[in-house]
């Protein structure tokens, strides 16, 4: 029995190696799965300010199609936002003829087109129609393709997929408007509370992440959910200063993650709040522990918050009162 040539070919490929065979099958699969696609180009149009009457155009475009002789489709849009100015059938060299209608009450464009000239065969995108809108109000408008039919020269249907578009006339903008530490000096190992205020300066509710840093080191994150337009939220982060070296200043900052299509990202970061992290016992903040710290402790001895001689830096153990235990810590940290 003669050997099937296809089997010989497969055996030859296998002899070369499994990797070339895998690549060959992947390439074949990629070619076979290329679908005819009907889509909006550009897919997204964004304006962060409203200019009533501003014109812009989108194309209804096809790619990866063979022998396209005609089509019918509907395109939905938001009539409160957009008004149709004109529709041009394309491509001109294929001699498009047909009909279209605009229902500005329901927001539906209907088109039924055939080509008197040659049919369209292309892998690259080709515009079938250009639609010009003008802007009326702020908001968002999906450009929804539906009830679509593509036909070939024999009248047969061409299988295809559709991809919608979107027009946004709104501002998306989240911001950090304040960063404030609970103190500007503390002892290493103490916890500093850092208050961060985030605001939604945009037109729609937003979800985003707020991150807190000392210098460039992250020490906390918080998820903000459904923050309404114009609202702000207060977040309190706890920074345990055990992660830094004593005797240095640390700059605090907070950052809001960028939301999709954000128009202004310059206000996403707010830098403020310089905190000195001191060595244990350095009451007077001169970067050393000596007799002067004991003198400052003695002046505040027996005090608590609200008293005239209260000094929070003399309360070294952070128990809310200046007592002998604080003095012991000063002595223990003498050089």
**Residue in 325, 316, 312 with CA at minimum distance from that of residue 189:** 316
In tens, the pLDDT along 153-174 reads: 999 999 999 999 999 999 999 9
Residues 332, 281 contacting (CB under 8 angstroms) = yes
State how far the alpha carbon of 322 is from the alpha carbons of 183, 260, 300, in Å: 18, 52, 6
Residue 69 has pLDDT above 80, yes or no: yes
Domain boundaries, the chain: 1-33, 37-169, 174-278, 291-332
Burial class of residue 78, CB neighbours in 10 A (0-12, 13-18, 19+): middle
Residue 254 has pLDDT above 60, yes or no: yes
In tens, the pLDDT along 92-141 reads: 999 999 999 999 999 999 999 999 999 999 999 999 999 999 999 999 99
Residue 293 has pLDDT above 90, yes or no: no
Cα end-to-end span (Å), the chain: 98
The pLDDT value given to residue 183? 94
Residues 290, 279 contacting (CB under 8 angstroms) = no
**Residue in 122, 175, 174, 148 with CA at minimum distance from that of residue 40:** 148
In tens, the pLDDT along 208-247 reads: 999 999 999 999 999 999 999 999 999 999 999 999 999 9
The architecture that CATH gives domain 174-278 is Sandwich (2.60)
Torsion angle defined by CA atoms of residues 111, 117, 122 and 126, in that order, rounded to the nearest 10 degrees: -40
User: Can you tell me the distance from the alpha carbon of 66 to that of 37, in angstroms, rounded to the nearest whole number?
Assistant: 11
Residue 42, preceding bond cis, omega within 30 degrees? yes
Same CATH topology for 37-169 and 174-278: the answer is yes
Strand partners, 62: 38, 126
The pLDDT value given to residue 102? 97
Please report where in the chains the tokens 């464009």 appear, as a residue: 109
The pLDDT value given to residue 1? 42
Class of domain 37-169: mainly beta
**Residue in 137, 160, 129 with CA at minimum distance from that of residue 41:** 129
């Amino acid at each position: 029995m003669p050997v099937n040539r296809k089997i010989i070919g497969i055996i030859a490929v296998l002899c070369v190696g499994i990797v070339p065979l895998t690549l060959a099958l992947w390439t074949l699969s990629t070619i076979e799965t290329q679908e005819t696609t009907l889509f909006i180009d550009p897919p997204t149009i964004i304006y962060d300010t409203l200019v009533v009457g501003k014109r812009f155009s989108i194309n209804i475009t096809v790619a990866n199609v063979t022998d396209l002789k005609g089509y019918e489709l509907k395109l939905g849009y938001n009539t409160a936002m957009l008004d149709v100015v004109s529709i041009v059938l394309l491509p001109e060299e294929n001699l498009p003829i047909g009909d279209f209608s605009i229902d500005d009450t329901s927001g539906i464009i209907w088109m039924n087109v055939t080509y008197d000239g040659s049919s369209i065969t292309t892998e690259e995108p080709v515009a079938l129609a250009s639609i010009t809108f003008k802007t009326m109000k702020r908001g968002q408008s999906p450009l929804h393709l539906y009830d679509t039919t593509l036909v070939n020269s024999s009248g047969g249907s061409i299988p295809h997929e559709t991809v919608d578009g979107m027009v946004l006339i709104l501002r998306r903008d989240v911001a950090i408007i304040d960063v404030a530490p609970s103190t500007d000096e503390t002892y290493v190992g103490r916890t500093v509370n850092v208050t961060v205020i985030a605001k939604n300066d945009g037109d729609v509710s937003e979800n985003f992440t707020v991150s807190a840093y000392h210098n460039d080191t992250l020490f906390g994150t918080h998820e903000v959910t459904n923050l309404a337009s114009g609202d702000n939220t207060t977040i309190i982060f706890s920074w345990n200063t055990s992660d830094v070296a004593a005797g240095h200043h640390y700059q605090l900052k907070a950052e809001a993650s960028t939301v999709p299509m954000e128009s202004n990202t310059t206000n996403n970061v707010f830098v403020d709040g310089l905190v000195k992290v001191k060595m244990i016992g350095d009451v007077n903040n001169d970067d050393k522990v000596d007799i002067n710290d004991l003198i400052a402790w003695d002046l505040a001895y027996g005090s608590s918050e609200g008293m005239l001689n209260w000094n929070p830096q003399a309360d070294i153990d952070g128990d809310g009162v200046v007592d002998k235990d604080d003095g012991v810590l000063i002595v223990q940290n003498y050089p």
